[in-house]
Amino acid sequence: MEKIKLTKSGHSIDFFAKILVLLLILIMGINLFLSYLSLTTIKKQNLNHISNTINIFAGSLSKELVAVDRFMYWSVLHDETIDALNNSENTQNYKEALDKTRIRFNDFKYYNRVDYTFLIQNKEKGIFTNASQTYIPYSDYLFLKKFFNEEKQQETTAADAWLPIQIGKNDYMYKTVIYENKALHAVVSSEDLLKPLRQIDIGKKGTLSLIENKETSAKLNAPFSNQHLLVAKKNQTNLPFNLYITVDYQGAFRNMVALQLVMLLIPLFICICSLVLLIYIQKKVIRPVKRLTVRLSQASEGQPVLFNEEGVIEIDHANDQISHMVKEMQTLRINVYEAELKQKRIEMNHLRNQIRPHFYLNILTMIHSMMQTQHYHEIEQLTLSTSNYFRYLFQTNQDFISLKGELNHIHDYLDIQKLRYGDSFQFNLKVNPQLENVLIPPLILQTFIENIFKHCFSVDTNLVISMEIDYAPDSLEFYRIIIEDNGPGFLEEELSKLRARVSLVTEEGKHVGLTNTFERLDLLYSENYQLLLSNRLDQGASIHLILPIELA
């Protein structure tokens, strides 16, 4: 019966599953890249927003500092109260001039957003006093007095830069305007200058400074750093100094960072869900389909197939249909096998019938001769042996019989030949008792023995036949039969044909026995047996037959 061929066209489910996995990985990579791009873009926009705010503040502060510069220059050049202060001859005049100077400077304070401390100095007369309300600690005031007295004074005719100075833990910016012997200093706390920028949310770890911290600047602006350094340079802001702002991005934009994290996790979550779904499909659909394909292959090869429930309605329905189809195929295969077996039995019976006729005629001829010579006792023995011989033939209508029964049949055959030829031959038998009940095709051994008598027996020579039956040397699942004689052996032409399994049957019907034996063994054992024919080195033929052990 022809096997069902499962043809392959296109690609397998595994191929498409792998393609889907690759697509998911590609999509996940693209999503991660786009998420990273969006995160960096949003971060850049937020930092730009802070930069723009700083620029607005810098513009306002720049105008205020210009106003302070102009006020200081005007005061040094044109303020009569400062001249009166420097030229006062007594304490009363000094006090009156100082009060007028402070009133004027305090009035200027109301036009400014930042609190400036103005200091008047005249080194020649040893004058150093505040021209306005002081907004610095007294200890810092003393430090500045010492600092300005020790500093080399130069006349200033242009807009000098504001310079930083650090007193203890306090940072200040100061500017000095000098004309002739008069010096006017403006001191302001860096904290007061940067106070408007405190309204910008730069995070808990964010810092504002007018002085660069070179140790921490190198650590900032790293690709994965949470802190970012913004520098507002004076050539861009028109300020006389640089602004250094450290933005704690994670602290300043907490909600935005959370949103960015969600944007990053959403595609990752989608990819993970897709992979989980793919694994579920692999388990619930692809694997059952593959098992179904394997079962179809097993069914096409005639192997037993067990269909289990897969949990998928369509696949379980297909399994039921295929199971029903497999049962019908098995039934059909059994019917075909039984028909073939019946045909084989017919052929076997025909082959058996081909074995018997020539021996029947010889026995009848012997009985006739003995009757003529009145050998009645021999006729009685021959009749008994012949009846046992024929009884075995007539009752043996099956494919196998016990080895013991086959050997008894050979003894009956040899008894008949002994009555015919007397002591002109010798038969030696050696059998392993454990193998007496193994099964063997009937008349197989008898055919070999009969063939030896037919081609080797002569009244002039003593024919010796040996038979040995024991386990095969290589396996206990087989047994070996060795039959040897001291006759002339096989002709080389016949031996070549027998080894090549070429029929020796002639048109006259000769050599039917051995040819039928080969055909019977092929029908019964297929290729699960060995039959080796050869000639012995000294004299005679040798037959080695190895059969599988089967018990009744």
**Can you say how many angstroms the Cα of residue 449 is from the centroid of all Cα atoms in its chain?**
67
Let me know whether 33 and 137 are in one domain.
yes
Local confidence band at 307 (pLDDT 50, 70, 90 cut-offs): low
Q: Are residues 337 and 477 in the same domain?
A: no
Question: If we measure between CA atoms, which residue out of 432, 355, 426 comes closest to residue 389?
Answer: 355
| Same domain for 378 and 235 | no
pLDDT at res. 87 = 82
In a domain, 1, yes or no: no
Mean pLDDT, residues 476-483:
93
Q: How does residue 1 score in pLDDT terms, banded at 50, 70 and 90?
A: very low
Same domain, 226 and 363: no
Domain count, the chain: 3
In which domain, by residue range, is 382 found? 354-548
Q: Which of 540, 527, 516, 510 is nearest to 443 (CA)?
A: 516
Question: Which residue, of 249, 267, 298, is where some domain finishes?
Answer: 249
Strands (E), 237-340: 243-248
**269 occurs within a structural domain:** no
295 has a pLDDT exceeding 80: no
Residue 273 lies in a domain: no
User: Which of 217-226, 326-335, 413-422 comes out lowest in average pLDDT?
Assistant: 217-226
Same domain, 67 and 50: yes
The reply to whether 345 and 242 lie within a common domain is: no
* 388 & 510 share domain: yes
Give the mean pLDDT of 322-330. Answer: 74
Residue of higher predicted confidence among 183 and 304: 183
Q: Are 418 and 403 members of one domain?
A: yes
Average pLDDT, the chain: 78
Angstrom distance (rounded) from CA 400 to CA 264: 80
* DSSP code of residue 137: -
Token digits of residue 450: 């009969």
Q: Are 436 and 408 in contact (CB under 8 A)?
A: no
Give the Cα separation of 122 and 181 in Å (integer).
6
The per-residue b/e assignment along 87-100, b for 16 or more CB within 10 angstroms, e otherwise, is: ebeeeeebeebbeb
pLDDT in tens, 151-203: 665 444 344 578 888 888 888 989 998 888 888 899 998 888 888 777 777 77
Give the separation between CA 485 and CA 245, rounded to whole angstroms.
117
pLDDT tens-place string over residues 248-261: 766 666 666 677 67
Q: Is residue 222 part of a domain?
A: yes
357-372 vs 313-355: helix crossing angle, rounded to 10: 30
As a whole number of angstroms, the distance between CA 423 and CA 248 comes to: 123
Distance CA 316, CA 244 (A): 73
Which of 350, 380, 408 represents a domain boundary (last residue)? 350
Q: Say whether both 345 and 365 belong to one domain.
A: no
164/71 Cα distance (integer angstroms):
20
Residue 369's contacts (CB-CB under 8 Å, 6 or more residues apart) are none
Residue 34 has pLDDT above 50, yes or no: yes
Q: Report residue 375 as tokens.
A: 């050998």
Contact indicator for 547, 481 with CB cutoff of 8 Å: yes
3-state secondary structure 478-543: EEEEEEEECCCCCCHHHHHHHHCCCCCCCCCCCCHHHHHHHHHHHHHHCCCCEEEEEECCCCCEEE
- C-alpha–C-alpha distance, residues 77 and 177, integer Å: 10
Q: What mean pLDDT comes out for the span 231-252?
A: 75
Which of 40 and 486 is assigned the larger pLDDT?
Answer: 486
- Residue carrying the six token digits 């998911």: 24
Q: Domain boundary residue among 291, 316, 350?
A: 350
> Does residue 136 form part of some domain?
yes
Alpha-carbon dihedral angle through residues 221, 227, 228, 229, given to the nearest 10 degrees: -100
Q: How confident is the model at residue 20 (pLDDT cuts 50, 70, 90)?
A: confident
Q: What are phi and psi of 505, to 5 degrees?
A: -65, 130
Shared domain for 218 and 359, answered yes or no, is no
Residue 147 domain-assigned? Answer: yes
Residue 461 inside a domain? The answer is: yes
H and E: helices and strands count for the chain: 17, 15
In this prediction, residue 156 carries a pLDDT of 41
Domain assignment present for 427: yes
Task: Tell me what pLDDT residue 306 has.
Answer: 65
Q: Given a cut of 80, is residue 300 above it in pLDDT?
A: no
pLDDT in tens, 335-387: 777 767 656 654 555 455 545 566 677 778 878 787 888 777 888 888 888 88
Report the percent of the chain where pLDDT is more than 90. Answer: 10
CATH of the domain at 426: 3.30.565.10
Question: pLDDT confidence of 225, banded at 50, 70, 90?
Answer: low
Q: What is the pTM of this model?
A: 0.45
Among 192, 256, 339, residue whose Cα is nearest residue 44 = 256
Lowest mean pLDDT of 72-81, 479-488, 497-506, name the range.
497-506
Q: Are residues 521 and 388 in the same domain?
A: yes
Residues 360 and 345 in one domain: no
Helices 13-78 and 254-281 sit at what angle, rounded to 10 degrees? 170
